């Protein structure tokens, strides 16, 4: 049976820290930053769907 991975949230800095305790050893596989800026859809660049003359092979 696998030991459960638990999570602790560090509120001062906004990190989510998953951890596993096996015997008397503490394992921390990764650290996530929980605070992310919201996505600004207006600032996203939309890729062009036009094919250039070079991509068409006509140059």
Residue 35: what pLDDT?
66
User: Does 30 map to a domain?
Assistant: yes
Q: How many domains does the chain have?
A: 1
Residue 17: what pLDDT?
86
Closest by CA to 11, choosing from 37, 38, 35, 36, is 35
User: Does 41 map to a domain?
Assistant: no
Task: Give pTM, 2 decimals.
Answer: 0.48
Residue 39: what pLDDT?
67
User: Do the Cβ atoms of 8 and 28 come closer than 8 Å?
Assistant: no
Q: CA 11, CA 33: separation in Å to the nearest integer? A: 11
- Pairing state between β 32-33 and 6-10: unpaired
* Structural domain boundaries, residue 7: 1-36
Q: Which residues of the chain have pLDDT under 50?
A: none
């Amino acid at each position: 049976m696998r030991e459960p991975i638990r999570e602790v949230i560090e509120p001062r800095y906004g990190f989510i820290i998953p951890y596993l305790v096996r015997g008397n050893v503490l394992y921390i596989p990764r650290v996530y930053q929980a605070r992310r800026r919201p996505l600004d859809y207006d600032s996203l660049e939309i890729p062009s769907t036009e094919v250039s003359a070079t991509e068409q092979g006509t140059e």
